[in-house]
Structure formats: structure tokens, C-alpha cells
Amino acid sequence: MKFTDFLFVFIFLLTLIPVYFIGKNNNYRNAVLLLFSIIFYAWSCPWWLILLIVSVTGNYFFGLMIDKYRGTGKAKLGVAFSLILSLGMLVVFKYTDFFITNLNAVTGLGIPLTHIVLPIGISFYTFQIISYIMDVYWGKVEVQRRYDKLFLYISLFPQLVAGPIVRYSVVEKEIDGRVSTAEDISTGITRFIYGFGKKVIIANSLYDIAEKYLGGDIASLSVAGTWYAVILYALYVYYDFSGYSDMAIGLGRIFGFHFDENFRYPFVSRSITEFWQRWHISLGSFFRDYLLYVPLFGKRRQYASLFLVWFCTGFWHGASWNYIIWGLYFGVFIFIERMIGNKRLKKIPAPIMHIYTVLIFTVGFGIFYFNAEKGGISALGTFLGNLVGANGNPLIDIGTQTSFMNNIFLIVAAIVFSAPVIPWLRSKLQKTESGENAIGVSTIVTNMAIFAVSVILLVNSTNNPFLYWQF
């Protein structure tokens, strides 16, 4: 069940909301949310729910063990057991065939693949569990002694299958003490609709164009066609994932939860370091807090830790070499920027830094696209050659020119709204005498228009994927 499915919007949500708000007690509301979250997750495949239950149950007892034996070797043992269970499940279900494939390639063995189906959301809820266990061990949060409340935190449906990765510390107090105000509900609905529109109106349209180019005969693309396709793909990934995050944050807000932001207009960044401070913030902060400062290589070898983080960032995204290359690719540029230093980078004119950043992350999204199912390393090599005309491909072609002109309004809108245009307009309106009323009216009208157009497009749509479901 996806947030953009009619089943979710018109049946699941419209059933959940009145049932949830009938009761005023948070114990009742927690029970309702837990029940509906279980239904939401089990809808695609009931067997995946068993894995979720095993993971939550095991880590519930490990958390209690860590708290009971705090400061002793048994607490460390509890952390070890937790990591073995959580990461073990992730490795088995996500990376088994990757390891077998590469082992066969290196040794010549013919070990058959398992073809294990990746459970939806396992990468996200595994990291949430790890963050909870580590924060309990470090004394940053109190251990949750109620099993049902820990289960609710892990399985809460807005963020369960595709993030953002919500820390327990963010919702710890809201599990018991939240209040859904009229402002929360209104803001949550608006945020959900904006995300809904970003996904359905912009992301789906961009995907259709980009996939036509990148998913076809990549070797026949012109230089302009290759750049055109990868730019649209980069925009697609942003609108797809940030749209989902907006919907998740909006849904959480409706029910009184205040999730942290996951995107802050990353395309306006002036460096790759800044880009990753604005892009998929919950994942970047997870690796920063739970891996970067773990002294695996000693304090003097901070750059080894840096590349470990970016290796893990890439590998987390999927069992394919292109993701590892993608992670290390960004790690190289962050390493270079650290070597140059912030003071020197700030002296470089902003337009130059912005162009540099756009070029680097755009090429990065091309690396991201060519996983094993999309042609792998071979197709990636062709793509990179196409970017600079190294494959003898023409500079430009009529098809690309025609596609660009036919989709000019979509492209312009996607570029414009990837910048903080809406917050800027709101700030301008708030300075006028009738600003608040104008914002209120325009929000209602905009919400209705976005929702109506999105529903119409979904009725006629045959393709409505969520990219980050596969991770």
C-alpha cells in the first residue's frame, strides 16, 4: 500500500482518522495507530510482518538488558546481540544474492541464487532500531518498558516503509503526551497534499521522460540527450523522495508527531558537503552520529572513517556495485572539500560553487541509476562516456530538442520549485496587512487544486512507483 494509492487515501486514511479521533486518551490512540500500522505493513505481504515482530521483540528485550546491566559487560553484550540480530536480518534479506553473485564471479563456483524478496522498509526500520538501542546504551533516552509502545515507534506507518529515519528521542515524549491541535491537523494535511502533488504531478511525469532515455538504448543517446535525461532523473529522485517525506511528515503531524525535516532544498547548495546536509538528512545524520565518530580506525585516521561512512551510505541503498561507487564518489568530493577547508571554499564566487555542486550531484544521480537491473557497470561506463562525447555520439539530436520543448513547462516548474520559492512567497505575504488571510485562502485553494489534479492524473496513470521502496 502506497501513500498515492486510492486504497490508502480514500479507504485507509478515511477510516483511520475518525476512528483515531473518536477517543481522547493517548493509550486508545496508540492502540489504533498500532493496529492500523500493522494492517498497513502486512497489506503487501503478511509474512514480512513476522520479520518485523521478531526484530522488535528481540530488541525490546535487548534494550531492557542494556538498561538493567548498564555500565557492565552484559550491557555491551546486549548491544552486540542487537546488532547481530538487526544487521544480520538486513544482510540476509538484502545482500545474500549480491555476495553469492560476486563470489561466483571471483571463484568460478556455481552457487545458486536464493532470490530472497527484500521486505519493504527493512533498511529504514533496522536503522531506527539501531538508533534506539545505541541511544539507550549511551543514556540519551530512557528504555521503553512497554512492548506495545516500542512496537508503535518502530512500526508507525507514516515512516515505516520509506523513512524518514525517525529517532526515538524525537517521538519519545509524544508517544504518551502528544496533542493533535487544529493547527497540527491543518499543517499536516497541507504538507501531505504538497508531497502528494510533488510525487504524482511532477515526479511521475519526470520519471516517464527520464526512463525513456536512460532505460532505452543508452549507447545511441547524444551528449545533450544524456545530460537532459540525467538532469530530469535527478529532479525525479528529489521530487519522488522528498514528496514521500513530505507526506510522511504531514501524516505524522496530523496525529500529533513532529518528525524532523528530511530535505531542505538541497539543489541550492554551494558544496557537496552542504548538499548532504540538506539531502536525506535522517540518513546522513544517522551515519554521522552512529558510525563516523566510532573510533574504528583511531582518531588520527578520521578520513578512513569518512570513506567507511560513504561506503556504507552507498551500500545501504542497494546490493549493486553502482551504489557503492555512488557513495564513494560523493565521499571523494567531501574529502576534497575538507582538505581545501571551509574558509577557502567561501572565497570562491557563489555561482561557480553552485555550478560545481550541480554538476557533481547530477552526474552522481546517473551513477545511482545504473544498478544491476539497469545494465550495471557496463551501462554506467557508456553513460559516463556519453556525457563527454567519448563514445562518438552526436552533440545533440532532434528528439531531445522536441522532448525539451514539449515538456518545457514541467521542467521549469520542477527547477523553480526545487528552490525555496514557496517559503519566500509566504514571508512576503506575511509582511502585508492582509497577509495571513491571503495565505489562508491561497493555501486552501492550492490544496484543492493540487489534490484534484493529482487524483485525475492517478486515474489515468499506469506507472506510480516509489523509488525508495526498493531500499
Q: What is the mean pLDDT of residues 291-318?
A: 74
Residue 162 pLDDT level (bands cut at 50, 70, 90): confident
CA–CA distance, 433 with 250 (Å, rounded to integer):
29
Q: What is the mean pLDDT of residues 332-349?
A: 92
Residue 255 pLDDT level (bands cut at 50, 70, 90): very high
Q: Render 221-268 in DSSP notation, one character per residue.
A: --HHHHHHHHHHHHHHHHHHHHHHHHHHHHHHHHTT--PPPS-S-GGG
Residue 133 pLDDT level (bands cut at 50, 70, 90): very high
Predicted local confidence at residue 77, as pLDDT = 95
Predicted local confidence at residue 428, as pLDDT = 75
As to burial, measured by CB atoms within 10 angstroms (0-12 exposed, 13-18 middle, 19+ buried), residue 44 is middle
Model confidence, pTM: 0.91
CB 177 within 8 A of CB 430: no
Residue 253 pLDDT level (bands cut at 50, 70, 90): very high
Predicted local confidence at residue 425, as pLDDT = 81
Query: Any alpha helices (H) in 295-349, and if so which ranges?
Result: 302-317, 321-340, 342-347
CB 127 within 8 A of CB 150: no
pLDDT digits (tens, 9 = 90+) for 419-458: 998 888 877 777 776 666 777 788 889 889 999 999 998 8
Q: What is the mean pLDDT of residues 328-355?
A: 92
Q: What is the mean pLDDT of residues 15-36?
A: 94
Start-to-end CA distance of the chain, whole Å, equals 16
Find the angle CA(158)-CA(160)-CA(165) to the nearest 5 degrees: 95
CA–CA distance, 17 with 36 (Å, rounded to integer):
10
Rg, Å, the chain Cα set? 23
CA–CA distance, 146 with 46 (Å, rounded to integer):
24
At residue 463, does pLDDT exceed 70? no
CA–CA distance, 453 with 460 (Å, rounded to integer):
11
115 included as an active-site residue: no
CA–CA distance, 49 with 1 (Å, rounded to integer):
14
At residue 209, does pLDDT exceed 90? yes
Considering the candidates 115, 258, 280, 317, report the single residue annotated as catalytic. Answer: 317
**Rounded to 5 degrees, what are φ and ψ at 443?**
-65, -45
CB 337 within 8 A of CB 345: yes
Q: What is the largest CA-CA distance in the chain?
A: 75
Torsion angle, alpha carbons of 235, 94, 100, 83, to 10: 130
Per-state percent for the chain, helix, strand, coil, to nearest 5: 75, 0, 25
At residue 189, does pLDDT exceed 90? yes
Predicted local confidence at residue 293, as pLDDT = 55
At residue 29, does pLDDT exceed 90? yes
> Is 148 in a helix, a strand, or coil?
helix
Calculate the CA 115 to chain-centre distance: 25
Predicted local confidence at residue 297, as pLDDT = 46
Q: What is the mean pLDDT of residues 364-387?
A: 92
**Rounded to 5 degrees, what are φ and ψ at 60?**
-60, -50
Q: If we measure between CA atoms, which residue out of 201, 200, 202 comes closest to residue 415?
A: 202
Grid cell for residue 339: 582538505
pLDDT digits (tens, 9 = 90+) for 273-303: 999 999 999 988 888 888 765 554 444 567 7
Calculate the CA 258 to chain-centre distance: 17
Q: What is the mean pLDDT of residues 341-345?
A: 90
At residue 194, does pLDDT exceed 50? yes
CA–CA distance, 198 with 352 (Å, rounded to integer):
29
Q: Which amino acid, 329? A: Y
Share above pLDDT 70 across residues of the chain, in percent, rounded to a whole number: 95
The larger pLDDT score, comparing residue 186 to residue 296, is at 186
Q: What is the mean pLDDT of residues 242-268?
A: 94
Alpha-carbon torsion (219, 225, 229, 234), positive or negative: positive
Predicted local confidence at residue 429, as pLDDT = 74
As to burial, measured by CB atoms within 10 angstroms (0-12 exposed, 13-18 middle, 19+ buried), residue 117 is exposed
Angstrom distances, CA of residue 151 to CA of 82, 114, 308? 15, 30, 31
**Average predicted confidence (pLDDT) for the chain:** 90
As to burial, measured by CB atoms within 10 angstroms (0-12 exposed, 13-18 middle, 19+ buried), residue 376 is middle
Grid cell for residue 162: 520509506
Exposure b/e, 350-362, CB count within 10 A at least 16 = b: eeebeebbbebbb
CA–CA distance, 73 with 157 (Å, rounded to integer):
35
Predicted local confidence at residue 470, as pLDDT = 63
Predicted local confidence at residue 14, as pLDDT = 94
Query: Any alpha helices (H) in 7-146, and if so which ranges?
Result: 13-22, 26-42, 46-68, 73-107, 122-137
Residues for the chain: how many in total?
471
